[in-house]
Structure 1
Amino acid sequence: MRRRLTLLVAATTTLVLVAFLVPLALLLRTVAQDRAVVAANADVQSLVSLVGTADPDSLRLTVDQLAATADRPVTVYLPDGTILGDQVAPTPAVRLATLGRSLTTSDARGREILVAVQGRADGTAVIRTFVSVAELNRGVHQAWAVLAGLGAVLILLGLAVADRLARRLVRPITELSVVSHRLANAELDARAQPGGPPELREVAGALNHLAGRIQDLLREERERVADLSHRLRTPLTALRLEAESLADPADTARVTAGVDALERAVTGLIRQARRRSAVPDGESAAADAARVVRERVEFWSVLAEDTGRAVSVDLATGPVAVGVAVDDLAAAVDALLGNVFAHTPDNTGFAVTLAVRAGGGAVVTIADNGPGMPAGLIHRGASQAGSTGLGLDIARRAAQASGGRLGLDTGSSGAVVTLELGPPATPVGPATPG
């Protein structure tokens, strides 16, 4: 935009200067030629009275002096054929002037000025002078050079002014663009400094108002989520008390473990809603995928045993670091395993595999022997089995946050869900056994 404004001003300034300087240059040339002709005529007219009355000897001396001082040829043709001054043969124009007619002729060499002097007893005398092209255009080229230099200076000055104005116009637009990108990157404290024309100041104010409104809405949303999550603590406490009153210690332990897991999830949800992002500033999300997957499989194995499902587990040994938070990874694995129980009948087995991903990270594969999951489940909010439709989307977002992806292959022989997780952004040390 800045370059286009500069080019526009340059083109406009050039057109204006051409429209002004070209006629002025032509006028200067005309004035210079008229000045030279007037000077020549003045020299010739100074001889008219003398030529009409003086004798040839006196006239010769005067003509020679004038030719020497006028810096141009001056010739007097007397009626008897005597030529005084510069010895120039009579031209057709001179012969025409002897008839008593004064005239001026022009050719490629310059202008010939002829004045017929009548009143002599012996006939009509003719005074001739010649103004060359160099004399006609004396000083013209210098004036044109001055005009050209003046035009160049005016164009450069116009470009400088246009560039300064364009910079003042473009800088606020660039700042608005930077602020909008910062807002898009979740830097909600970014604000634009109003500047430039009134329209841009209004846009900056509107952008700042929008950023503030987004902050308010997000703050209200986090508070609502946190309040809603906090309200779940009361029924969880009641559920824990009910579990402790069960007669079978095994049932008590199983239900209590489920309540503990749910309470941890609620606590994590409250913590995540209260803070600005899932990862504190300066830290990188990281988790040991082997440990998290093992814990979640052990949790779901109790329900699998109750529903007669055979579970096959093949996990890579040792810590497997992935670039996703522990809570997010646990929620993703729970969502995938929960889909197995939700979309397959009882007594349907499934297998969980964890392998190290080429280039870092891990690949979690969950395959079941059921009829396969309905199409479209991977889209947020889409479900054909009465669920919320958010399970696979949670897993997809966890995978994408780590630089991986979520794949789904479903058919008559069952469904295979592949969760690829990328490595953490910064290297992490060995995980502490938990």
Structure 2
Amino acid sequence: MRRRLTLLVAATTCLVLIAFLVPLALLVRQVAEDRAVSRAHGVVQTIVPLIGTEPDRLELAVEGQPLPVSVFPPAGEVIGEEARRTPAVTLAAARRESFAVATDEGREIVVPVVSAGGVYVVRTVVPDEELNRGVTRSWLVLAGLGAALVLLGLVVADRLARNLVAPIADLSAVSHRLARAELSARAAPAGPREIREVATALNHLAGRIQDLLREEREQVADLSHRLRTPLTALRLEAESLRDPAEADRIAAAADGVQRAVTAVIEQARRRGGERRSCDAAAVVRDRVAFWSVLAEDTDRRVRRELPPGPLPVPIPADELAAALDALLGNVFAHTPDGTAFGVTLAPRPGGGAVLTVDDDGPGFPPDALRRGASGSGSTGLGLDIARRAAEAAGGALHAGAAPGGGASVRIELGVNALPPG
């Protein structure tokens, strides 16, 4: 933008200068010609009074002039500069009129003088050098003046453009910082009034976003207090069971709910842009072991392909576990008992990992991939949770049909730059 404004001012300045300097240059040349012709007329006028009155002084007056002057008498030899009788001389003697004509030698000026002895014609020629004397120097001065004005205009335009563009660049930098979740970024109101208003509006928007996020975090934090009582009651009910195994299972489920709620609260209170990593192989192995117990109870066969060693990915362990739990929960919720499913974790070319969950069920219902949509009465947020986790890790989620039928969801997790935490 700064360059465009400078070029616009330069183009406008050049057009204005051309509109003024070209006519002025032509006027300078015309003035130089008129001055030379006027000087030649002055020379001729000093000779005219001597014709017919002082013939002795005429020849001396003709020879002492700065321009070549010839006097053509009615009869006899030419007085002064030797020259042939040109058509202009003949025409002037016949019409008895003074005029000037352009020739190859320059500007020819003829003046007829009527005397008792007949019509004399005084002729002089103004060379082209005399007609254009000083014109080149004047044009160079005008060109230099024009160039100086253009440079001055460019300097002023660049200064104004910089004062205009700098606040816009600051607004752009602040907006990018806000996009990176640096909500403390603020723009300094500067520049024209309109840009200052935009900066003020952007600062107000950033403050409003901070307020909304603060309110959301507090609401999420209140969730732990609201769930504390029912979780406590659930643990008491589990302790009252006669079967110790059943009691331990229900207590473990209650602890899992408590951990999930705590993870949600920690995630909401985590500062923007602050990312952690984990060992995807360990997390997936742990969650598959947990769901395998439920799979045995519902006669489901579990296929698993997990790497033997660690596989770091740029996502917290609780978020990856929540994403995998959401996908496996969908398998148990939307496929009949006895439906087999598989979990595959493999390294991603270039870094990261690819997590795939597929099943042998009926596949995805229509609109199942749209957030909040579900064909079986659920919240419809399971796939969206997995999608957001994949995007937060620099990857993406792909859902479709499995090669052998059923549903298949593939999560790509980006390159990890942090040690597992």
TM > 0.5: yes
- Give 3-state SS (helix, strand or coil) of 1:130's partner: strand
Partner of 2:165: 170
Question: Does residue 11 of structure 1 match 2:11?
Answer: yes
- When structure 1 is superposed on structure 2, of 149-158 and 321-330 the one drifting more is 149-158
- Give 3-state SS (helix, strand or coil) of 2:109's partner: strand
Shift of 1:335: 1.1
Partner of 2:265: 270
Partner of 1:425: 417
Cα distance, 1:414–1:83 mapped onto 2, change above 3 Å: closer
Partner of 2:365: 374
Shift of 1:274: 1.7
For this pair of structures, how many residues does the alignment match? 419
Cα distance, 1:371–1:86 mapped onto 2, change above 3 Å: closer
> % of aligned pairs identical?
63
Partner of 1:63: 62
Cα distance, 1:104–1:396 mapped onto 2, change above 3 Å: same
Q: Is the 8 A contact 2:386 2:397 kept in 1?
A: yes
- Counterpart CA distance in 2 for 1:351 and 1:96 is 117
Partner of 2:288: 297
Shift of 1:186: 1.6
- Counterpart CA distance in 1 for 2:92 and 2:338 is 134
Partner of 1:230: 225
Tell me the alpha carbon deviations over residues 246-271 of structure 1, each in whole angstroms, 9 at most, x when there is no partner: 22111110011111111111111111
Shift of 1:328: 0.5
- Counterpart CA distance in 1 for 2:415 and 2:380 is 27
Residue segments in structure 2 that go unaligned for 5+ positions in a row: none
- Give 3-state SS (helix, strand or coil) of 1:76's partner: strand
- Give 3-state SS (helix, strand or coil) of 1:237's partner: helix
Partner of 1:212: 207
Cα distance, 1:29–1:363 mapped onto 2, change above 3 Å: closer
Deviation >6 Å, runs of 4+: none
Shift of 1:216: 1.3
Q: Is the 8 A contact 2:278 2:419 kept in 1?
A: no
Shift of 1:317: 2.6
Q: Is the 8 A contact 1:112 1:130 kept in 2?
A: yes
- Give 2:112's aligned amino acid: A
- Give 3-state SS (helix, strand or coil) of 1:246's partner: coil
Aligned pair partner of 1:383 in 368, 371, 374: 374
Tell me the alpha carbon deviations over residues 257-289 of structure 1, each in whole angstroms, 9 at most, x when there is no partner: 111111111111111212223x74xxx522222
Question: Does residue 110 of structure 1 match 2:106?
Answer: yes
- Give 2:210's aligned amino acid: Q
- Give 1:184's aligned amino acid: A
Question: Does residue 335 of structure 1 match 2:326?
Answer: yes
Q: Within 5 Å, which residues of 2 pair with 1:55-134? A: 56-65=55-64, 67=65, 70=66, 72-98=67-93, 101-108=96-103, 109-120=105-116, 122-134=117-129
Q: Is the 8 A contact 1:343 1:373 kept in 2?
A: no
Q: Is the 8 A contact 1:100 1:118 kept in 2?
A: no
Q: Is the 8 A contact 1:115 1:128 kept in 2?
A: yes
Tell me the alpha carbon deviations over residues 378-398 of structure 1, each in whole angstroms, 9 at most, x when there is no partner: 332121011111112212222
- Counterpart CA distance in 1 for 2:243 and 2:290 is 19
Cα distance, 1:61–1:232 mapped onto 2, change above 3 Å: same
- Compute the TM-score of the two structures, normalised by the length of structure 1: 0.86
- Counterpart CA distance in 2 for 1:24 and 1:99 is 39
- Counterpart CA distance in 2 for 1:97 and 1:407 is 102
Question: Does residue 2 of structure 1 match 2:11?
Answer: no
- Give 3-state SS (helix, strand or coil) of 2:125's partner: strand
- Give 3-state SS (helix, strand or coil) of 2:373's partner: coil
- Give 3-state SS (helix, strand or coil) of 1:294's partner: helix
Cα distance, 1:30–1:251 mapped onto 2, change above 3 Å: same
Tell me the alpha carbon deviations over residues 28-71 of structure 1, each in whole angstroms, 9 at most, x when there is no partner: 222212211221222222223332321x3333233322x3xx2x
- Counterpart CA distance in 2 for 1:289 and 1:416 is 19
Shift of 1:369: 4.1
Shift of 1:126: 3.2
- Counterpart CA distance in 2 for 1:145 and 1:304 is 95
Shift of 1:167: 2.4
- Give 3-state SS (helix, strand or coil) of 1:38's partner: helix
Residue segments in structure 1 that go unaligned for 5+ positions in a row: none
- Give 3-state SS (helix, strand or coil) of 1:255's partner: helix
Shift of 1:14: 2.2
